[in-house]
Structures are given as structure tokens and as C-alpha cells.
Structure 1
């Protein structure tokens, strides 16, 4: 829990569980976890699974959370977590960060604490007179800070119906209905052309497939925040090189303004965001 000293929490958890687990398993207890609102996501090694409910109950009690999830895999087009509930019953929570309320189902919707710096950066990135299009809005991870703190107009597009439900709730929860409009469609079906001052492309792995649509939506000299995953051996040329090549194929120019590493995605692979100014035909 935020504000608690993990140097005292970890020994306390181990001390309690040492009375419940075989001695050789105590050293395998997780030393790191993720807390989203009042839900805990706990990585458990295979050897600990026979005791997963007892372990989860202790972590929940010490960290004062209502639900504990066993960390699993993130799969599919929508980057959905597949996490098992091992304590409690309700994975829906409200996570507060930088003055923003994010309501989500932590068992089925991705919310990465490692992306916090980028969410905070978005809170100061836009001007009030801008129109921002978020092509992969999710629950509003990146676009809620823009609407709330920058006062810009935002069009938030989310294809996943379940994530979209929370996006709509979060728009109301953060009282930005006057500045933020949500669409439950594939962004490639969005009809707007030459309208956006700024575009968010907060997706990974296949983001390059959506570059032509982003260029269609963008005004001349718009800024695109282009996220993707890239092997370390291809950096720093990638991922901007791919963006620039696709832009040229469609008759657009592209200028790299800034590149930031968000987090490690996999061994030797990084999640990167590039701020790019694009120039029309």
C-alpha cells in the first residue's frame, strides 16, 4: 500500500507465513508486487501454488487490499491480462494517480505502473486549444491526463467493448465530459481526416500497421506520440525509421522530436515512445 514501508512489510509477511509454509518455501515468497487501487497483483512461483490462497490472504491482510490476483499472461489483440483471483472476489477497483481516477477490472484490463512517467508527461503535453485523438484509448490511460490537466479536446477511440465501458465511466468520474468524446470502434473506421493537432498511438508490437490511419487523421505539422516495442540491437534507429519509411510511402514527411524508453518489454526488447512531427502531402 502506498506510503507503507516495504522494509518492515516484507519481514512481517515472511514471519507470518513461516508458520504456515514449509521452511524451504518461505525464501521463495514474492518480494515485489503491483498494487492497483485496492487490488494486489502477486507473482507466484510454481512451488508456491499449493499454498496460493494462504499466501494471498496474508498479503491482503498486511497490505490492506480487498482482492489478490495471481499474475499470469497478457495475451491477444487487446493486450488483456489473464490473472487468477486467489483472494477476495472483486477485481474492479479505482486507482488514483496524479489527480486522475482510473476505474478498471485489474484481472482483465492492463494497467502498468511502469508507464506512470508517460501518463504524468501527458498531463502537461498539450495546449488547451488542441484537438487530440487517442487511437488506442483503453480506459483513458494517456488521454484522461490530457483532458483533465491540459484542458484540450480529446477524441478517445477504443475497440474493446469491455475496456470502453470503463473509459466512459472514467470520463464521467473525472468530470471531463465537456472535453472528451469516446468511440467504441476500430480506429481504422474513424471517419475524421486532417483534424488532429496531436495523436496518441499507445499500442505495442503492431503499432506500425496503424501509421497510415494516423497520418490521415493528422493535420499538417501535427505531433504523433508513437509507441512500439523494439529490440535493443535496432535502437536508436528504430522505431522512428519504420515510421519515417511508412510516412514517405504515403507522401508525408516526419521529424523526430524526442524518444523515450518506457520500460523493458522482454529480455532485449524495450517499449519506446517517439514524439514525431508530421508534414502533409
Structure 2
């Protein structure tokens, strides 16, 4: 149904803009876009930039969104978007997915629609008697589905104060205050030890630096959902080889339960997630 709707929208946008843009530019219009709540992220080529407002206005009107951002890069420790607002003003929205409400500022907080399968998987991954620790909670991308659909207890840790504000709002918005607690700290300063049945490590690039802390938080036979980015030439040995080596250094054995590819991160680099069970030696 969604695909059919998109097929109908594209000709409408082309038809309208063919009357407003110089000849030849219509063929350069984006054929794909990302919609988060009622905010649109639009990739625009350099040739289209002189007409970016007019283009964004048409996309907004046809798609029924309030704000349009030009797609940019995701940078820094907090994985913050660097997007340009090209139409509208308000970039705060509520995105609904799989029965979960995610409130966020699309211009300043990372949310990847491409990770939807992993968020849906989390909705049935845990048992109700588990304690789950989310070390990189963000706005609750991965841990809200666990609290909402699995009824498990969740500790969500988020270092960025601005993102943390939305995490707290989302806990209330999804009515999981009774089983989800948020901490605005660096996860390396979290005082809990040997408490978690399950740990979420939804980070990339430098996730391996946090393995020792995850092991400290984990109970014996806990499951760790370990995300990282890995060059294709190092797969399938990595990233498990690094996890396993680090675990042994800290007195743990690691068993790989499952490995999944989330998405392509960059040319020749993949974002993957491992489900790893850890045992204290």
C-alpha cells in the first residue's frame, strides 16, 4: 500500500515542479526521501539548491509534512545530524512505529528508519522478568519496545542532555514509567554491577571501547546485543573476534548466538549487531 502511494506521489511532484523548474532539473529530483513523523528529510543535489525552497514546499504540500530538511551528515560522539532546514521551522515531531511513540527533534537527534527491523525485533526479544540495561539509549530507540511490548524492567542510560530530555518524555508518552528508568550520565559512570540479564549496545564505530563496562554490568549468562561498524573485508570474523578477545581479557567467555546485518554504513562498511552470551570464568 505504501509503495503504491509513493508511486502516485512521485508523478504529482514531477508534474507540479516541471512547471516551476528549468528544463532538465526535474529529472534530478529526489526519488527517495525519509519521513519521520511530520518532518521530511530530502537529499538534494547541488544543481537543485538554487530552487531548494520551492522544491521543499511542493514536497511538503504533497506529502502533508510541516518541515523539510536537506539531508546532511551524522557527526560526533552523540551521532548528531547536521541538516539544513529548507522549509518550515518546527523540527520536533512524534513518530509512531510498531505501537511506540518516539518524540524527537529530527534536526538534532539521530533516528534511523533503516534500523526499523531491529527495533521491531526488540519488541519480542526479552522476558518480562528480565532487567535490561540500554547503555546508549538515545530517545529510547531500542529499549522502549522492550519496556512496552515485553514488559521487562529497563534502565536507559543517555549521556547527551538534549537527547535525554526526549527519552524522559518518551517514557511518559508510552506509559512505561513503572518499568523504565532513565539516567543522564556517561554509561561508564553507571554504578550497577552484575545486575543485567540483557544489555543493549546500540552504538557504532567505537562500541568496542565499552565492552569492559558492559561485562561489569552483566550477570553471568547475560545476553549482550552488540552493535558496531565493520569493514566488509574483515567479516565474518569481526566484530565478534574483538568482542571475544576483550571478554577473555576480563575473565569472560563469549558465545555468539546470532549475527545480523542492520544496513550499509558507508562504502565497504556495514553496521552489524551480534547477540552474544557471556559467561564468567
TM-score interval w.r.t. the shorter chain?
A: over 0.9
Q: 1:25 and 2:28 equivalent? A: no
RMSD: 1.0
Mean alpha-carbon deviation: is it higher for 18-27 or for 167-176? 18-27
Aligned to 1:254: 254
Aligned to 1:168: 168
Aligned to 1:197: 197
1:24 Cα deviation from its structure 2 partner: 1.4
2: CA distance, partners of 1:148 / 1:62: 33
1:200 Cα deviation from its structure 2 partner: 0.1
1:125 Cα deviation from its structure 2 partner: 0.2
1:7 Cα deviation from its structure 2 partner: 1.1
Mean alpha-carbon deviation: is it higher for 243-252 or for 2-11? 2-11
1:280 Cα deviation from its structure 2 partner: 1.2
Aligned to 2:99: 99
2: CA distance, partners of 1:205 / 1:244: 17
Q: 1:118 and 2:140 equivalent? A: no
2: CA distance, partners of 1:44 / 1:60: 14
1: CA distance, partners of 2:278 / 2:105: 36
2: CA distance, partners of 1:149 / 1:234: 35
1: CA distance, partners of 2:88 / 2:259: 41
Q: After the TM superposition, which residues 256-275 of structure 1 pair with which residues of structure 2 at under 5 Å, given as runs?
A: 256-275=256-275
1:3 Cα deviation from its structure 2 partner: 7.6
1:109-156: CA deviations, max 9, x gaps? 111111000000000000000000000000000000000000000000
Structure 2 unpaired stretches of 5+: none
Aligned to 1:242: 242
1:73-95: CA deviations, max 9, x gaps? 11000000011111111000000
1:202 Cα deviation from its structure 2 partner: 0.2
Mean alpha-carbon deviation: is it higher for 205-214 or for 3-12? 3-12
1: CA distance, partners of 2:143 / 2:182: 11
Q: After the TM superposition, which residues 1-281 of structure 1 pair with which residues of structure 2 at under 5 Å, given as runs?
A: 5-281=5-281
2: CA distance, partners of 1:136 / 1:55: 36
Report the TM-score when normalising by structure 2: 0.99
* Helix, strand or coil at the partner of 1:5: helix
1:21 Cα deviation from its structure 2 partner: 0.7
2: CA distance, partners of 1:73 / 1:20: 29
4+ residue runs over 4 A deviation: 1-4
Paired residues in the alignment total 281
Report the TM-score when normalising by structure 1: 0.99
